[in-house]
C-alpha cells in the first residue's frame, strides 16, 4: 500500500468552528466576571470557563496576552488548563451588557458558585438514551440542567460612534468541584475546620504546581478562591496569567491585599518566593481560621497598604501557638513560608513541598492522597451523616488516640490559646470571630 504524503498540510491554516454559549455567572473577582460557557465545536459540546478581563491600558492588555501565551503552555495535574484568549467588540454587545460591564464594581475574594450541570456520566447516559441516575451515584450527582438555551442573534442599537474597545475573555477548563475559600467557609459555618493533614496535602499539591510553573511564570495571585478541588480530590491552581503588574496592580487587587507578600505590597520586582509567601498565608488561614493580613473594613486603600507594612514589622504568631491542635512540625514549615524577609523563606516551592511531604504528611508512612481528599469531601457534604468503610480506610491517617478515625475537627474555643484569641478579637468582622462568639454564647449557662 503506497505511503500517504501528509506534508502538504504542514503550515495550512483554517478558521475554528467553535462557538461559545454563555450559560451562567459562577463568580466575580478583581479582574472581572467568571462565566460557565458551553463550547460547541461543530456539534461536539464541552463546558469551559470564560473569565472577563476588566478594561486595562493597552500596555496591560499586551502583557496579559504575553502571559496568557505562557499560561496556555502549562500542563500539570495541579494546574487548571488555560486554552487562550477570546475577545468581543464592545459594539457587538447589547447595550445593557455594555452598561453592566462599565458600571460593575470589580470585587475580590468572591466565592465560586456551585452549579447543577450534567456530569460526564449523566451526559453519557443522555446520549445513550438511558435514564439519568442509572450510574449508582445519585446521592452526590447534581440534577441535570435543562437543555442550554441557544442564543439567537440580537438586533443591537448601533451607537453613532463605534466603541473601539473589546471585551477580553480568558478561556479555561471547567473544574467540577469547589474552591478552598468556599470549603473553608462552609467548615466554619458548621463550627469545624478542615483536618490538618488534608490542608497540608492541598498546600503540598499547590507547591508542586508552583514548582513547575515558576520555571516560566510567577502567579502573583495565590488566594483560596484560586485553589480549586475537583470531585476526584485533585487540587488545582487557576488564573495563571491573569494577575497584572506595575502601577495598576495594587489598585486592581485592593481586595486581595491580605494575600500579598511584603514585596508585592511594596510594588517591588517579584519572583517565585512571593507566591510561596501568599500560599503560606492561605495555609495559615486554613489551619487556624485566622487571616493574618486582614485589614479593618472600610479602611481607604492607602491606609490599608500602610497598615500591612506596619504588620510586616512585627512577628507573626506561629500557627501551633494559636491553635493547639496544629502539629509543631507543620507550623514550622508554614512559618518558614511566611518569613517577611524573602531570603529567609524557602528558596523555591519544591523545597516547601518536600518538607510538607517528608517531615509531616508521610513521615509516619500512610498519608493523604487524592482519593483521601475526595472521600473526606463526600463525607463532609453529607454533614458527616453518611460514612462508608471504604471512605474511612482512605482516612486512616486521621486516627485519634482511641484508634477511631476523627473526620471532624471541631472549632472548639479551648483549642485556641490566649495569643490566638487576641488575634481573633482584633478581627471582629470575620466569620471565625462570629462562629467562636456564637459558641461562647452557647456555652454560657
Q: What angle do CA 219, 225, 231 make, to 5 degrees?
A: 110
Exposure of 66 by Cβ count < 10 A (0-12 exposed, 13-18 middle, 19+ buried)?
Answer: exposed
Is 221 in the active site? yes
Q: Which of 40, 46, 221, 275 is catalytic?
A: 221
Q: Could you count the other beta carbons within 10 Å of the beta carbon of residue 243? A: 23
CA dist., res. 283 & res. 277, Å (int): 10
Q: How far is CA 119 from CA 67, 94, 126, 176, in A?
A: 31, 32, 10, 8
Buried b / exposed e across 247-277, counting CB within 10 Å, b at 16+?
Answer: eebbebbbbbbbbbbbbbbeeeebebbbbbb
Which residues are catalytically annotated?
221
Amino acid at each position: 500500500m503506497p505511503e500517504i504524503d501528509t506534508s502538504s498540510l504542514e503550515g495550512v491554516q483554517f478558521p475554528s468552528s467553535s462557538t461559545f454559549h454563555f450559560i451562567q455567572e459562577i463568580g466575580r473577582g478583581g479582574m472581572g466576571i467568571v462565566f460557565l460557557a458551553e463550547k460547541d465545536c461543530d456539534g461536539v459540546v464541552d463546558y469551559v470557563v470564560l473569565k472577563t478581563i476588566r478594561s486595562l491600558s493597552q500596555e496591560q492588555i499586551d502583557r496579559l496576552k504575553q502571559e496568557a501565551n505562557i499560561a496556555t503552555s502549562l500542563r500539570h495535574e495541579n494546574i487548571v488548563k488555560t486554552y487562550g484568549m477570546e475577545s468581543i467588540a464592545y459594539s457587538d454587545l447589547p447595550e445593557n451588557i455594555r452598561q453592566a460591564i462599565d458600571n460593575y464594581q470589580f470585587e475580590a475574594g468572591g466565592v465560586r458558585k456551585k452549579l447543577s450541570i450534567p456530569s460526564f456520566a449523566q451526559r453519557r447516559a443522555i446520549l445513550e438514551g438511558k435514564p439519568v441516575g442509572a450510574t449508582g451515584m445519585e446521592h452526590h450527582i447534581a440534577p441535570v440542567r435543562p437543555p442550554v438555551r441557544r442564543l439567537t442573534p440580537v438586533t443591537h442599537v448601533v451607537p453613532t460612534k463605534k466603541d473601539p474597545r473589546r471585551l477580553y475573555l480568558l478561556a479555561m477548563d471547567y473544574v467540577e468541584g469547589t474552591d478552598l475559600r468556599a470549603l473553608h467557609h462552609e467548615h466554619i459555618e458548621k463550627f469545624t475546620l478542615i483536618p490538618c493533614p488534608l490542608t497540608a496535602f492541598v498546600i503540598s499539591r499547590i507547591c508542586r504546581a508552583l514548582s513547575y510553573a515558576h520555571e516560566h511564570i510567577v502567579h502573583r495571585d495565590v488566594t483560596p478562591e484560586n485553589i480549586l478541588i475537583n470531585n476526584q480530590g485533585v487540587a488545582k491552581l487557576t488564573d495563571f496569567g491573569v494577575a497584572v503588574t506595575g502601577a495598576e496592580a495594587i489598585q486592581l487587587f485592593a481586595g486581595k491585599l491580605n494575600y500579598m507578600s511584603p514585596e508585592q505590597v511594596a510594588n517591588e520586582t517579584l519572583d517565585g518566593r512571593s507566591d510561596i509567601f501568599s500560599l503560606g498565608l492561605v495555609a495559615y488561614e486554613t489551619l487556624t481560621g485566622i487571616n493574618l493580613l486582614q485589614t479593618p473594613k472600610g479602611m481607604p486603600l492607602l491606609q490599608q497598604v500602610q497598615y500591612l507594612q506596619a504588620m510586616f514589622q512585627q512577628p507573626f504568631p506561629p500557627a501551633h501557638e494559636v491553635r493547639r491542635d496544629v502539629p509543631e512540625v507543620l507550623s514550622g514549615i508554614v512559618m518558614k513560608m511566611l518569613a517577611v524577609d524573602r531570603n529567609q523563606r524557602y528558596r523555591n516551592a519544591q523545597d516547601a513541598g518536600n518538607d510538607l511531604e517528608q517531615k509531616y504528611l508521610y513521615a509516619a508512612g500512610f498519608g493523604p492522597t487524592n482519593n483521601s481528599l475526595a472521600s473526606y469531601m463526600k463525607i463532609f457534604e453529607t454533614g458527616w451523616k453518611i460514612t462508608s468503610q471504604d471512605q474511612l480506610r482512605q482516612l486512616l491517617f486521621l486516627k485519634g488516640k482511641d484508634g477511631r478515625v476523627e473526620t471532624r475537627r471541631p472549632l472548639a474555643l479551648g483549642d485556641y490559646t490566649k495569643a490566638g484569641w487576641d488575634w481573633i478579637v482584633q478581627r471582629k468582622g470575620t466569620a471565625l470571630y462570629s462562629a467562636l462568639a456564637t459558641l461562647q454564647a452557647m456555652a454560657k449557662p
